[in-house]
Amino acid sequence: MRTFFPSESCKETQLNALNPQSWLQVERGKLSKSSPQCCFSSSIESLIKVPEPSILPLFKPVDYVEVLSQIHEELETCAPEERPNLYLLKFQVFRGLGEIKLMRRSLRAAWQKATSVHEKIVFGAWLKYEKQGEELIADLLATCGKCVEEFGHIDVASMLPEDTNVSSSQYFLSSDNKLSRSVTFRIGDENIVCDRRKMACLSAPFQAMLNGCFTESVREDIDLSENNISAAGLRAINEFSMTGNLNEVSPNLLLEILIFANRFCCERLKDACGRKLAAFVSSRDDAVELMEYALEENSHVLAASCLQVFLHELPDCLNDDRVVQIFSLANRQQRLVMAGPASFSLYCLLSEVSMNLDPQSDKAACFLEQLLESAETERQRLLAFHQLGCVRLLRKEYDEAERLFEAAVNAGHIYSVAGLARLAFLKGKKSGAYDKLSYIISSGSCRPLGWMHQERSLYCDGDTRWEDLNKATELDPTLPYPYMYRAASLMRKQDVQGALAEINRILGFKLALECLELRFCFYLVLEDHQSAICDVQAILTLSPEYRMFEGRVAASQLRTLVREHVESWTTADCWMQLYERWSSVDDIGSLSVIYQMLVESDAPKGVLYFRQSLLLLRLNCPEAAMRSLHLARQHASSEHERLVYEGWILYDTGHCEEGLRKAEESIKITRSFEAFFLKAYALADSSQDTSCSSTVVSLLENALKCPSDRLRKGQALNNLGSIYVDCGKLELAADCYINALKIRHTRAHQGLARVHFLKNDKAAAYKEMSLLIEKARNNASAYEKRSEYSDRELAMVDLEMVTRLDPLRVYPYRYRAAVLMDSQKEDEAIAEVSRAIAFKADLHLLHLRAAFHEHVGNVMGALRDCRAALCVDPYHQEMLELHSRVNSHEP
């Protein structure tokens, strides 16, 4: 998700205020007279600042597994209309865990299970908002003759049932036979003759007026001049009373009739007006004007149509004060008219979008107030309390923020204690802040989590602070702040190697921009400009608009300044540098070189952006990778090259067959390495038929015959080796891997190790993986693979190293837990798996723990993990079988 809360000091200032030139010592011929030690300390203090971690506006239950289990259980038994809100809650849980794919899957489920048109509109708009920038995919699919599932406009009128709550016949009562069958209504100088009985059927007020005890009931002429209806309007109403239709009525006249119908409780007439007016809502201006009438006159169809237009234009429409005012000032009845049962979902969406735009804005606060008023369940209320508390905290409305955080805690959201502690600290009560966290940690009411120790570390000093930060990393190694604080502290102590090692620990598995920025600052202090520019160029690759030093300076400006102190490379130099870094599996370094080539060299940009996308995928940055693929397509130098990039875009978004088709179109134009490679890759993935292996081999062989560089040919040889291994042709596979290694495709060591293992030469396999570990800069996966080729003791050593290098890799936890279970240490085995589950919602970990619980007879524990796992993947066959088996034993 997008970053919500920048630091308080993220304000625009002049670049000169930071005086970056002095940091880089660019004054020609001038050197500081201060001692090196003094300069070093001064530079550290001016550059290295670690901002406190933000209080995140997220739902963060202390036991997310329990919450997911409850959601799954409720989904199994609840009424259909309750499901969308449960999927929304699931979305909020996954959002708090940072699981983007699972978030989107939950949103899609909410949209698919929606039972009302309002929910369809809200969740469809939310999915569209989440998929900003992906419009090209629909266009590409259209060129392949396939329609993508769209979240565009829907026909609101056809999906909302007509108002049949009031039957026209119930208003007709037998009347005096002496009365005329007709009645004349006078509007000014005009008389409109109507059918008394038909008009009486419009509503109870008309029935009372024409057939009841009112004086008008005995008149044949009634003056309606003072009732804000024109003669043309009344003629249309008369026509409706006779036919049930409003034909060829202008929008202005429809509005007049709508107001009249609402005043006289003519529900069928009002509904018909709303449906006719809905057809005229084609722009934001239309929607703004008509929404006011819809809310005032309680026209559900018209309001939903206007809402759809607004949400379809997110986030831009929230820059329109008229739209913001409509959403901000809506009362309970108006929210019901506008969004029906989707009021809470609507304001969840509006709150998220507004916080992305500016979390301190009035509209963010207003929408969150509306969210709180729309909440119907305790879980909805605690989310609204917490999010509004976060915004009030940012706005420095401390008393109100405290009230909201307390309400959230009382509702069961323990994470809001962090907000209360931060407020206590801001009010000068540091010990009170510390005590709040200490109570939560030691109370025994919940399992201590990483964020608790991280937050408590802010309110203590010295060794106590380090102990909390170390504990935070032990419990949740994905938190960036502890690494950053420790690294900055070591740098201040002039322990350069220790500082770099500490920040590199997290950058080895999580490419966090704030961590790259800190390391960039370290390199500036050390005057290692080559390493500094490497990091800032990696930052700009990930986020071209990124601003550094608490948002005060554009990263691009800092790159320009640092660039003056780095030796220039020719295009040939750049290719050599890229080859060196790619071969040593230095992904960040490779990203930097490609960025420099894009900015400074005349190398083909399409090819470079494509290489950039490959690296970003390897670094688990899918959104940035897709952006690079789009840029590759834009800068393609030929049609056949463009088709290849389009094929990869389709393949990476799950449209494998269409990607394959693009590759074939490209080959028809020009036989190129990339087109054959794409076709081989897509075919191997899309076909379950083992007979297609020969076709894939042929395609890769054709690719290798085409011109390309060694980086890509090494990958093709590696892939070809994998196909040969799968076919049992080990000698051919070994040749491929050896040839790949000759052109320094380092990852081929892993394939060659597999060949050795399949030849029953485990020692050679272990040695091959050791070579990869020596050469690769990012080598957590190599340690993991090597563990498969050693005895248990050495495997345990390797897997401990994997967890240190990349704690997000789940295999080591599973292996260690299995070893403990084999040793009949059931509690330790469950604890080992639980250690990873605490910060990673992984299906395999949950499955394993569920099996462990079943093994020790803990049926409820097993059932809980099964249900939570099925929230991650509802269709996992083994999980479904285990759930069914465990469920049959539930007491």
User: What are the C-alpha distances in Å from 776 to residues 351, 485, 509, 584, 891?
Assistant: 44, 28, 14, 5, 53
- DSSP element (H, E) containing 387: helix 378-394
End-to-end CA, the chain:
41
The second-level CATH assignment, the architecture, of 709-799 is Alpha Horseshoe (1.25)
What is the model's pLDDT at position 218?
Answer: 75
**Tens digits of residue pLDDT in 807-863:** 999 999 999 999 999 999 999 999 999 999 999 999 999 999 999 999 999 999 999
CA pair distance 766, 772, nearest whole angstrom: 10
Check: CB of residue 82 under 8 Å from CB of residue 33: no
Distances in Å between the Cα of 334 and the Cα atoms of 81, 339, 346, 553 are: 21, 8, 13, 44
Residues of the chain with CATH 3.30.710.10: 155-313
Ranges of CATH 1.25.40.10 domains, the chain: 709-799, 810-891
Burial of 497 (0-12, 13-18, 19+ CB in 10 A): exposed
H helix intervals, 279-377: 284-296, 300-312, 321-329, 332-339, 343-357, 362-374
Rounded Cα–Cα distance for residues 33 and 14 (Å): 27
How many Å apart are CA 291 and CA 293, to the nearest integer? 5
The whole-angstrom separation of Cα 633 and Cα 637 is 9
Report, as ranges of residue numbers, the positions in the chain whose pLDDT lies below 70: 1-46, 147-150, 163-179, 215-216, 688, 690, 890-891
Q: How far apart are CA 137 and CA 160, in angstroms?
A: 31
Residue 62 has what pLDDT?
96
Query: Where in 196-270 does DSSP place strands (E)?
Result: 221-223
In CATH, what is the architecture of 155-313? 2-Layer Sandwich (3.30)
Q: What is the DSSP letter of 184?
A: E
Q: How many CA atoms lie within 13 A of 838 on its CB side?
A: 25
Phi first, then psi: what are they for 39, rounded to 5°?
A: -60, -40
Let me know if 36 is exposed, middle or buried by CB neighbors in 10 A (0-12, 13-18, 19+). exposed
Q: Strand locations in 138-252, DSSP E?
A: 182-187, 190-195, 221-223
Cα distance between residue 370 and residue 57, in whole Å: 16
Residues 6+ apart with CB under 8 A from 868: 64, 65, 66, 68, 69, 72, 841, 846
Beta partners for 397? none
Q: Cα separation of 15 and 38, whole Å?
A: 24
What is d(CA 611, CA 353) in angstroms, rounded to the nearest whole number?
Answer: 33
d(CA 691, CA 701) in angstroms, rounded, equals: 17
Cα–Cα distance for residue pair 210/204, rounded to 1 Å: 10
Report the C-alpha gap between 590 and 476 in whole angstroms: 29
Residue 330 in contact with residue 343, Cβ under 8 Å? no
**What's domain 810-891's superfamily in CATH?**
Tetratricopeptide repeat domain (1.25.40.10)
What pLDDT score does 26 carry?
33
Predicted pLDDT of residue 688: 67
Question: What token pair was written down for 748?
Answer: 């081929």
DSSP state of 547: E
In this structure, are residues 647 and 663 in contact, taking their beta carbons and an 8 Å threshold?
A: yes
pLDDT at 733: 97
The 3 state secondary structure assigned to 799-824 is HHHHHHHCCCCCHHHHHHHHHHHHCC
